[in-house]
Amino acid sequence: MKYLYLLGYPLSHSVSPAMQNAALHARGLYAIRYIKNPMPPAKMREMILALRAPHCLGANVTVPHKQTIMPHLDELTARAREIGAVNTILKQDGKLIGDNTDAYGFLQALRVRRVNPQGARVAIFGAGGAAAAAAFALAQADVREIIFLNRTLTRSVALADRLNKKFPFLALALNDWDALAQTQLIINATSVGMAPQADASPAPRDFVFAKHAIAFDLVYNPPATQFLRDARQHGARAIGGLEMLVYQGARAFELWTGQRAPVRVMRDAAANALREISRASTNQ
């Protein structure tokens, strides 16, 4: 048996194992299993040892390791280096290669929801790995301006610097909370609102979403976060994180296995697993 790992902490909310195992099964790859490997930040050494073991074929990396794992890998793809975050690890001749499929997943999610961000003014809550992937994807899609709203300003500055190197003509603003009301697309790329803190939102409590605004939450569990519930209540459009999860996972699957990802199977498995989790938590 060979393994693909999900490395992160905590991992109780994740439906990636259900999604990836369904895909492996659908493609007849019965000798590979995708498993959660919860590792707190202090266990970086153990994490790298687990990745180097011969039975490990690769991994996904999630909160809080997407950036801290980078210096421990043997190589980074140009994409991962630019974005400054790794969510997928491949093994080539025993070497650990860090890649990023989040930006692709984010763009695909916009596409299937028929959102064209070209020329838009966009606000992003967060400045971590997920925010970086979304920002690079949006810059590639020719948005007009990105406003980063993050608790820690130094992280927004570092992300803006990286973006500026690749997209010198893109307008960027940091912590301009007043501009939020004039943005067309508002993205939550923080972990605020993720189960079990499901009543928290990254937006200010008194913020009123404009009717023409689109709120996109990268959080997929719960499917209706407080951020999205508030947006809907004000008549704005609300998009959850499930599609991005599916497409970042589909691209990772293709990189690990060399086979086309069964996207529909993956979406159904992820949605079913989410329903199971919410049923179990309401029965508690």
Which residues does the annotation mark as catalytic? 66
Establish if 193 lies at the interface with ligand ATR (CB under 6 A): no
Backbone phi, psi, residue 195, to 5°:
-55, 140
**Closest CB 38 distance from ligand ATR, rounded Å:** 15
Establish if 130 lies at the interface with ligand ATR (CB under 6 A): yes
Q: How far apart are CA 121 and CA 266, in angstroms?
A: 32
CB 99 within 8 A of CB 86: yes
Q: How far apart are CA 159 and CA 153, in angstroms?
A: 10
3-class DSSP assignment, residue 143: coil
Single-letter code of the amino acid located at 237? R
Closer of 26 and 44 to ligand ATR (Cβ) = 44
**Closest CB 185 distance from ligand ATR, rounded Å:** 18
CB 256 within 8 A of CB 16: no
DSSP H helical ranges for 84-221: 102-112, 129-140, 153-166
Residues 135-154 that bind ligand ATR (CB under 6 A): 150-152
Q: Judged by CB under 6 A, how many residues of this single chain contact ligand ATR? A: 19
Closer of 32 and 132 to ligand ATR (Cβ) = 132
**Closest CB 130 distance from ligand ATR, rounded Å:** 3
Establish if 190 lies at the interface with ligand ATR (CB under 6 A): yes
Establish if 155 lies at the interface with ligand ATR (CB under 6 A): yes
Q: How far apart are CA 232 and CA 229, in angstroms?
A: 5
User: Which x/- pattern, by CB under 6 A, does the window 157-186 give for ligand ATR?
Assistant: ------------------------------
Q: How far apart are CA 87 and CA 248, in angstroms?
A: 9
| 283 DSSP assignment | T
**Closest CB 211 distance from ligand ATR, rounded Å:** 26
Burial class (CB in 10 A: 0-12, 13-18, 19+), 243: buried
User: What would the two tokens of residue 141 be?
Assistant: 């899609």
Closer of 134 and 239 to ligand ATR (Cβ) = 134
CB 211 within 8 A of CB 186: no
User: What would the two tokens of residue 96 be?
Assistant: 């650990």
Establish if 86 lies at the interface with ligand ATR (CB under 6 A): no
Residues 49-78 that bind ligand ATR (CB under 6 A): 63-64, 66-67
| Span of 26-34, 50-58, 121-129, 222-230 interacting with ligand ATR by CB under 6 A | 121-129
For the chain, the farthest-separated pair of C-alpha atoms sits apart, in whole angstroms, at 54
Neighbours of 24 (CB within 10 A): 20
Per CB under 6 A, the list member of 129, 193, 222, 249 interacting with ligand ATR is 129
Closer of 24 and 227 to ligand ATR (Cβ) = 227
Establish if 222 lies at the interface with ligand ATR (CB under 6 A): no
In the complex, the residues that contact ligand ATR under the rule CB under 6 A are: 63-64, 66-67, 85, 126-131, 150-152, 155, 189-192
